[in-house]
Amino acid sequence: MPDLRQSTSVDVRIGAAMDANDGVTPETTLTLGAADQAELLKHNGAATVDISGRTFAAVAGSDGWYNLTLTAADTDTAGDLTIVIQDSSLHTPIWRHCSVISQGHYDAKYGVADMPVTVVEVQASAAADVRAAVGLATANLDTQFAAIPTAAENRAEMDSNSTQLAAIDTEIAALNDPTAATIASQVWATVCESQGSFTAQQIMSILLSILSGQTSNGGATFSTPNGGAQRVAATLDASNNRTAMSVTPSA
């Protein structure tokens, strides 16, 4: 079924007309004026259009086929269009079904122009997709647009966030930024022996006196290396076992 451009004159090829007696011999002498019927049936129309006066010429080299020229008035109605040519004394009936389409769609389909798009078509086929793409839940755009923050509201939100960020910066600045000396002091003050609650510094002073300090009382008393302070005094039994320890670490 060929497409015809609406309200446009066009040549339509129709055939093949075969001899009415044997049904196989091409009939090359057919004329519309002499035919019993030469009519046009437009889309959804009960009345026929007489086309006996249209230009009608045999196709050279293809017996039984003819070129029929339809006028712009013949193709003014979009939809199905049927051409009927009959002459019972001369040939078997021939007809051609065509489809008349709008000029814009015809031009787009056959490369003459882009496919036309109307506002109605966009609204009908793409409105839901557009709303979904921009995050709108309903078709009431006025309601949705009213919910979008204004420039002033956006500015106020930005100022609020800026104030909060400034407060965070202040809080961070107020945090302790310990020096190496502070960290070292905290480490030395850490209790490393729960029995007696000796700190790391105290333990080191005790170990220093035992390993490098001066001794007295037969090695039972340990002082600092310079002898200035006693750190450990041991009570020994007859077998020189320690039975009590007096520990005085540095502060």
**Rounded (10°) CA dihedral 106, 107, 111, 116:** -100
Q: What is the pLDDT of residue 138?
A: 60
Q: Are 75 and 100 in contact (CB under 8 A)?
A: yes
Helix runs in 54-150, H state only: 103-109, 119-133, 141-146
- Quick check: pTM over 0.75? no
Spatial distance between the Cα atoms of 70 and 51, rounded to a whole number of angstroms: 8
Q: pLDDT tens for residues 145-203?
A: 777 888 888 888 888 888 888 888 888 777 767 788 888 888 989 998 888 889 999 99
3-state secondary structure of 221: strand
Assess whether pLDDT exceeds 60 at residue 124.
no
Q: What is the pLDDT of residue 174?
A: 75
Amino acid letter, 222: F
Q: Which domains are delineated in the chain?
A: 3-109 (2.60.40), 186-247 (no CATH)
Q: What is the 3-state secondary structure (H, E, C) of 158-202?
A: HHHHHHHHHHHHHHHHHCCCCCHHHHHHHHHCCEEECCCCEEHHH
Residue 203: how many CB atoms within 10 A of its CB? 17
C-alpha distances in angstroms, 101 versus 13, 78, 106, 141, 221?
A: 18, 5, 6, 35, 119
In 3-state terms the chain splits into helix, strand, coil percentages (rounded to 5) of: 30, 30, 45
Please state whether the peptide bond connecting residue 16 to the residue before it is cis, i.e. omega within 30 degrees of 0: yes
Q: pLDDT tens for residues 26-80?
A: 999 999 999 999 999 999 887 899 999 999 999 999 999 999 999 999 999 999 9
